[in-house]
Amino acid sequence: MNLLVTGGCGFIGSNFIRHLLLDGSRGIPRVVNLDKLTYAGNPANLADVVGDARYSFVHGDIGDEERVLALLAEHRIGAIVNFAAESHVDRSIDSPEPFVQTNVVGTLRILNAARRHWSGLPAPEKDEFRFLHISTDEVYGTLGPKEPAFTEETPFAPNSPYAASKAASDHLVRSYHHTYGLPTLTTNCSNNYGPYHFPEKLFPLVILNALDGRSLPVYGDGQQVRDWLYVADHCRAISLVLERGRPGETYNVGGLNECANLDVVRMICSLLDERSPRKDGKPYAKQIEFVADRPGHDRRYAIDCSKIQRELGWRPRESFETGLAKTVDWFVEKRSWCNETTAKRYARERLGTTA
């Protein structure tokens, strides 16, 4: 089937497209990437697949229902994988409305387009059509130190505008399956890390600040715990859910790597001490600086991903140690990509446009 991937120029979306075209199934006839190119969308993330005849890029918005519908018909799309989202918690605290527009209204409109397209398909294609919505563990809220991990049955309790907007989008996807019969799937993942991560996120921020001699900011006491998932493992999980997941179901995807933020920062510093030592011989951990905590900062996330393991046979291949080492090596090698990405994104914002 031909795929429409939305938000494919972002971090996880671009890794997924690369997985499909370079690492994954050779049976994919065509991948159409629809991306609005807001601050974190970067076409350079997919420079290595631009010449692939199976790949095409469309600059557009999932909120434009008629345009999405036309793309679905033009390319005879058999499945949609929806990554398109505003996803930075700090930005959602500063300005919640763009998150509601993209994550809630945008999801509603692409669901409308998907339903109209699916309703008109002939029987065999209609039966095989899928709408896969990529979401986050943040919809479940926060956990205490000894509470059991989030399962697919955990009630939603979002604590940030970002998480609330994603929770709303998850509910819309569920409702379109139960009300209209649209064959939807949802994945809720833990924190991803790996190549092409936008430079303002924790891992690349720490790596790049360390190398540039800047402070390494850590919120509060740094004991916020996250379950870290290497992005290539996440992409494999998405492929399996798309191929074999049961319509109407949700699948949690976790890395099985719970670690406090402060410990993550220290591990990155130790890897940099080995790979690119400071000229003065001091450890990079000397640059750690504790800053005021984020409002409403969730204390702990943990994912129970036994359902996807049991039903689809998925498990993460990377340990946190191997995945982190690969990530640090990639960002050390790709500093020019990071500098260009940051300069272009913030230049657009200063000009008042995200086009």
Q: E-assigned strands of 104-236?
A: 130-136, 184-189, 191-193, 216-219, 225-230
The answer to whether 219 is a known catalytic residue is: no
Please give the helix or strand (H or E) that residue 108 lies within, else none: helix 107-119
Give dist(CA 228, CA 188) in Å, integer.
13
| 343 Cβ contact list (under 8 Å, min separation 6) | none
Show the tokens assigned to 323.
Answer: 């995945």
Please, which residues have CB within 8 angstroms of residue 170's CB and are 6 or more apart in sequence?
133, 135, 139, 156, 186, 188, 250
What sign does the CA torsion over 149, 153, 154, 158 have? positive
Q: Which of 39, 55, 140, 162 is catalytic?
A: 162
Is residue 138 part of the annotated active site? The answer reads: yes
DSSP code per residue over 252-314: EE--S-EEEHHHHHHHHHHHHHHHS--TT---GGGGEEEEPPPTT---B--B--HHHHHHH--
36/38 Cα distance (integer angstroms): 6
Q: Which of 35, 65, 86, 138 is catalytic?
A: 138
Q: Which of 35, 65, 86, 137 is catalytic?
A: 137
Strands (E), the chain: 2-6, 31-35, 55-59, 77-82, 130-136, 184-189, 191-193, 216-219, 225-230, 250-253, 258-260, 288-291
DSSP assigned state of 351: T
Distance CA 180, CA 73 (A): 20
Provide the token pair at 44.
Answer: 């350079």
Q: How far lies 324's CA from each of 204, 207, 265, in Å?
A: 11, 11, 11
Q: What is the CA radius of gyration of the chain?
A: 20
Positions marked active-site: 137-138, 162
